[in-house]
Amino acid sequence: MLYFLNLSEANSGTMKHLGSLLDSTYLKTAKQASLSEVENQQIVSELAQEAIAFNFKLVMIRPEHVRKTRMFLDERDSNVLIGTVIDFPLGEASLEAKLSEAKQAIADGADELDFVVNYQAFQKGDVEGVRTQINACTSLCLKNEKVAKWIIEIAALSDAEIAKLTSLIREEVEQSFPNDVERVFVKSSTGFYQRADAGPVGATLSGVKIMKDNSGQLPIKAAGGVRNIEDVKRMLDLGVSRIGTSSAKQIILGEQSIKEY
């Protein structure tokens, strides 16, 4: 695994490799950012331009921005991918609503779809309902040659629940899509979970390790709270395959960021 610890150690090869591991992320609504819709769209466009400049794997944006961003990237003949979130951030929608949102995102030009799993239903014991959603939404993505990621929201789960939910996703994918396990990720967090205490709401080393220990061949995406190259190194050392961060540019430049999703 290649990574660098400060800018002086970087060269074009290592920067390109590191960029290929990063999903550069902006998921705030205009209201959350206290901006107009036009201003918020401009931030998304700037994110896409940065992704081109720094060779990021992907821009992770809300569904309403996918179509314009697809046009923006295509006009520049860029190979930067577009990722979007589905049933975000709570994951409580019906299967029909999840599929409808995903179909629209695919039609608009998304390459990767990050679904929020209904972790609350899982906690209440509706394992089969959750399994059905995982199967149907993953199938839709794979049939359309898209990557699916399942956000389990580790800040809302106990260690045992992280292990069980990761295992459930792994078992369903291995059983139903054995030839496509590398195209279905388990992802740690939305970055938007609201805790009652002051604990972390994104990826933690302990939580990601549990995910990795139970994911089998499914790749892991760590998201939320990764703000500098040391955070990246720690996650890579655990074996993650992708990192979602709103601090991608700062990480590439060897800087510290305090930005949130």
Secondary structure of the chain in HEC code, one letter for each residue: CCCCCCHHHCCHHHHHHHHCCEEEEECCCHHHHCCCHHHHHHHHHHHHHHHHHHCCCEEEECHHHHHHHHHHHHHCCCCCEEEEEECCCCCCCCHHHHHHHHHHHHHHCCCEEEEECCHHHHHCCCHHHHHHHHHHHHHHHHHCCCEEEEECCHHHCCHHHHHHHHHHHHHHHHHHCCCCHHHEEEECCCCCCCCCCCCCCCCCHHHHHHHHHHCCCCCEEEECCCCCHHHHHHHHHHCCCEEEECCHHHHHCCCCCCCCC
**pLDDT-wise least confident of 9-18, 31-40, 219-228, 234-243:** 9-18
Question: Active-site residue 57, yes or no?
Answer: no
Mean predicted confidence (pLDDT) in 5-18: 56
Q: Identify whether 221 is a catalytic site residue.
A: yes
pLDDT above 90 covers what percent of the chain? 89
- Specify the pLDDT at position 254: 87
Asked if residue 7 has pLDDT above 60, the reply is: no
Report the 10 Å Cβ neighbour count for 258. Answer: 7
Predicted local confidence at residue 258, as pLDDT: 62
Mean pLDDT of 27-56: 97
pLDDT in tens, 144-200: 999 999 999 999 999 999 999 999 999 999 999 999 999 999 999 999 999 989 899
Which candidate in 114, 149, 212, 249 is catalytic? Answer: 114
Return all residues near 146 (Cβ < 8 A) that are at least 6 apart: 106, 110, 111, 112, 113
* Residue boundaries of the structural domains of the chain: 7-252
pLDDT above 50: residue 8 = no
Q: Bridge partners of 221?
A: 187, 242
State the chain's mean pLDDT as an integer.
93
How sure is the predictor about 17, in pLDDT bands with cuts at 50, 70 and 90? confident
Catalytic residue among 146, 187, 212, 249: 187
Task: Quote the pLDDT of residue 116.
Answer: 98
pLDDT of residue 198: 87
Residues 101-141: tens digit of each pLDDT: 999 999 999 999 999 999 999 999 999 999 999 999 999 99
pTM score: 0.93
pLDDT digits (tens, 9 = 90+) for 77-101: 999 999 999 999 999 999 999 999 9
pLDDT of residue 255: 83
Please, which pLDDT band fits residue 260 given cuts at 50, 70 and 90? low
**According to the model, what pLDDT value does residue 9 have?**
44
Annotated catalytic residue: which of 98, 146, 221, 249? 221
* Residue 81: per-residue pLDDT: 98
Is residue 197 part of the annotated active site? The answer reads no
Q: Which CATH superfamily is domain 7-252 in?
A: Aldolase class I (3.20.20.70)
Query: Is pLDDT above 90 for 10?
Result: no
Q: Say yes or no to pLDDT of 204 above 90.
A: yes
Top pLDDT among 7 and 127 is at: 127
Q: What is the CA radius of gyration of the chain?
A: 17
